Amino acid sequence: MERGQRTDGQEGETKRQAFLKKKDLFLFFFVPLLGIIVIFFFLSSINRAYIKNKVEDLVKEQLQATAEILKVNISHFLSENYSSEEIFSFYSGEENIYYMALLDEQKEILGWHSRFEGYLPLSQKDIGERESWTIDSPAGKIFNIFTSFRAADLKTYHVYLGYSLESLEEMLVRSRRNFLILFGIIVGIGIIFFLGIYQLQNHYRQKEKEAETERREKERYKEISAFTSGVAHEIKNPLNSLSLLFELLAKKMPDEFRQDISSGSGEVQKISRVIDQFSASLKPLDLKKEELILKDLMADIQGSIIKGNINIQYEEEGEVVLFADKGLLSQALLNLLQNSLEATDKGKIRVQAKKHRKKIFITVQDSGKGMSEEEMRHIFDPFFSKKKEGMGIGLYLTKKIIEAHEGKIECESRLGKGTSFLIQIPGG
């Protein structure tokens, strides 16, 4: 029942974390991005409306100035008895003026000219009280102006002009296109930026979680270390007394009892070694780093182990030099080689080393029996061992030594295919 309740609680916690993650994504990504998009649209709309109004004002001012000039010129031409057709012929080359007309005092058309033959959008409704207005035509938007002047003969005339807003439309089209391009760039940058922030936040939370886990582990091992030290102290004193007692008995007892006494003394020493290993595994490591040539270090290690019929082959790419604690690194590599030797009946153990950029990579690969997935999950756990005589300390200490050098160790293995350990530590 407790297991079922625990499983339900774990599932609930997993769902809660997933919900919080989605909530974080919404808060840190979608809300700010949506806010930027809304603000950008709002400011862009205001800006485009402002530009359009300013350009229309400029066009109006320009056309009014053109109309004033035309009124003076037309008044001059009329005083010299030019016909309206002759007058308009002088302005037929103006590209932006689509059409123009001259009206008398009763607003009757005296003459007109248009770039579009037969097209003059003028009605009494248009020329009421307005002086300017904008219309839609087949040629686009056209700004119209209707103004009056008095000629030399004291008669009142009216001038009607239609000015093309094609350049304004083109500018607005370019403005919209640039807006879309800029909007796409901003959205892209926003996505990258906020995803980066979100990833940094996740990375920070992960590091925070790892730091909390590491802190708890340190506290746990600190407690275990204190407990082990106390137990070791209380046990080793009686063990020393027993060892002295066995030595004394070995001198005084008859020969037929010496074998039993020797066995007892050996068991006492074995207990003492176990206690020493427990204590050593829990002590913090004090590194004394020095420059080491890995090839020489491996030669010393190979000379200190019994290989049997197993061939240990060492290879390296160039001379590998590193900065490490000689004694501790030797112990770590020795533990790996001994583990490989115990797992290999025949064949060879291959050790490869290389330096890539600022890191040293060391691989220890054997052709032994390999490990199951269950063993792989616990291979570096303290006091975990499948061997009858094993204490489960060697690989745990190896991992502890490598991590103390700011490195990491990984293991790959398949049953019947052998095992491979990969060490990665900073280079010298």
pLDDT tens per residue across span 286-319: 788 899 999 999 888 888 777 677 788 899 988 8
Please state the rounded mean pLDDT for residues 134-158.
81
What gap in Å lies between CA 175 and CA 48, rounded to an integer? 8
The residue among 402 and 346 whose pLDDT is bigger is 402
Neighbours of 170 (CB within 10 A): 11
CA-based end-to-end distance of the chain: 56
Question: How much is the pLDDT for 409?
Answer: 92
pLDDT band at 408 (very low <50, low <70, confident <90, very high): very high
CATH numbers and ranges of domains, the chain? 2-164 (3.30.450), 175-282 (1.10.287), 289-426 (3.30.565.10)
Question: How much is the pLDDT for 92?
Answer: 66
312 contacts 351 by C-beta, under 8 angstroms:
yes
Is pLDDT above 50 for 388? yes
Neighbours of 369 (CB within 10 A): 15
Question: How much is the pLDDT for 362?
Answer: 93
Question: How much is the pLDDT for 27?
Answer: 65
Scan for tokens 């103004």, then name that residue: 147
Distances (CA, A) of 86 to 74, 78, 111, 146: 10, 10, 10, 21
Is pLDDT above 90 for 163? no
Q: Fill in the amino acid letter for 129.
A: E
What gap in Å lies between CA 393 and CA 381, rounded to an integer? 8
Please give the mean pLDDT across all residues of the chain. 78
Contacts for 318 with CB less than 8 Å, ≥ 6 apart: 354, 355
Neighbours of 349 (CB within 10 A): 25
pLDDT band at 19 (very low <50, low <70, confident <90, very high): very low
Distances (CA, A) of 102 to 95, 117, 156, 342: 19, 16, 11, 113
Question: How much is the pLDDT for 5?
Answer: 45
What gap in Å lies between CA 49 and CA 165, rounded to an integer? 16
Residue 279 burial class via C-beta count within 10 angstroms: exposed 0-12, middle 13-18, buried 19 and up: middle
Q: What is the 3-state secondary structure (H, E, C) of 109-135?
A: EEEEEECCCCCCCCCCCCCCCCCEEEE
Helix, strand counts (H, E) of the chain: 9, 12
Distances (CA, A) of 338 to 63, 174, 322, 369: 97, 75, 23, 14
Question: How much is the pLDDT for 103?
Answer: 85
Question: How much is the pLDDT for 374?
Answer: 84
Closest alpha carbon to 362 in 406, 291, 426:
426
Question: How much is the pLDDT for 23?
Answer: 62
Question: How much is the pLDDT for 128?
Answer: 65
Phi, psi dihedrals of residue 12, rounded to the nearest 5°? -65, -40
Q: pLDDT tens digits, residue range 115-131?
A: 777 777 877 676 666 67
Q: pLDDT tens digits, residue range 27-65?
A: 666 677 677 777 777 777 787 777 777 777 777 777 778
Is pLDDT above 80 for 341? yes
Q: How many residues does the chain have?
A: 428
Closest alpha carbon to 338 in 296, 307, 365:
307
Please state the rounded mean pLDDT for residues 182-193.
77
Question: How much is the pLDDT for 281?
Answer: 63
Please state the rounded mean pLDDT for residues 405-419.
89
The pTM is what?
A: 0.48
Is pLDDT above 70 for 423? yes
Please state the rounded mean pLDDT for residues 252-264.
75
